[in-house]
A and B are shown apart, each in its own frame.
Chain A
């Protein structure tokens, strides 16, 4: 799922993005596998817990980095982070209320994959372009 073109050229951010892609890719492979649904549930629950925690940590670190480099579109970017987190939390709530149904998990998997590609492939590329314009990585 991860593609080289998603790199933004900032090591910390790129490493975290690859971790996110690996996890989402694993998650998608699990929910798409032929295994019995009950056998997949542990992986599903583990991914949900991971996403809730890691997405928050990653977004915070990305925002701290943006502040450090005086990234001009930080507010717009923060709004996108908020939307992404709300999207994940929306499904957390659904799973709490309705249980981990296969239908909803598949739906969540499709959305999560698309959000991640869009966010990293578009929004975060702008950070890379800004950093490059400033002469390279600012750690």
Chain B
């Protein structure tokens, strides 16, 4: 998987977090993983189609999501209900949209499917034989992962 795919999502995540949440993100590590597994409490999957195809999974811990919603709404939130999960899904969707803009500057024309949100469900997503990349990011309100599996369309 090419670095520019990962960088597009990393840059978009950074920009959106700064803009919407006033948060800086710091890269913790980037590793190859065998499976695309949602390992934290709240997960958003974006399907990518077009010149590239695959999926991007955002995986957040519960307390971080509650804090994100608090930053945006200015209100205390104590559970990830449909208000919080739809806001989270939309943040991921916006990141995806921004990443596609970055990719289009590198001549990849792609689309994203509406976000799918899973709360408290640990799922794995099947892939082809290739491995996925897991990017772990840290912020002042918690750490989260972006797991990407993107390949050029044949």
- The B-contacting residues of A in range 95-122, CB under 8 angstroms, are 103, 106-111, 113-115, 117-118, 121-122
Nearest neighbor of A2 in chain B, beta-carbon distance: B74
B94 to chain A: which residues have CB within 8 Å? 114, 118
- Count how many chain A residues have C-beta atoms less than 8 Å from C-beta atoms of the other chain: 20
User: CB distance B74 to A121 under 8 Å?
Assistant: no
Which of A28, A107, A122 has the largest number of chain B CB atoms within 10 A?
A: A107
B21 to chain A, nearest CB (A): 9
- The digit string for B56-88, where 1 denotes a CB below 8 A from any CB of A, is 000000000000010011110100011111111
Judged by a CB distance under 8 angstroms, whether A138 is at the interface is: no
Q: Contacts A117-B20, A121-B19, A122-B19 given: A110-B75 contact, CB under 8 Å?
A: no
Interface of B is mostly: helix
A1 to chain B: which residues have CB within 8 Å? 72-74
A116 to chain B, nearest CB (A): 10
Rounded to whole angstroms, the CA-CA distance of A106 and B81 in the bound complex is 8
A110 to chain B: which residues have CB within 8 Å? 69, 82-90
User: CB distance B75 to A28 under 8 Å?
Assistant: yes
A4 to chain B, nearest CB (A): 12
B16 to chain A: which residues have CB within 8 Å? 118
Judged by a CB distance under 8 angstroms, whether A29 is at the interface is: yes
User: CB distance B74 to A32 under 8 Å?
Assistant: no
Rounded to whole angstroms, the CA-CA distance of A135 and B19 in the bound complex is 25
User: Mind listing 29 A-B residue pairs with CB under 8 Å?
Assistant: A1-B72, A1-B73, A1-B74, A25-B74, A28-B73, A28-B83, A31-B83, A32-B83, A106-B81, A106-B82, A107-B82, A107-B83, A108-B86, A110-B82, A110-B84, A110-B86, A110-B89, A110-B90, A113-B72, A113-B87, A114-B20, A114-B72, A114-B87, A114-B90, A114-B91, A114-B94, A117-B72, A118-B90, A121-B19
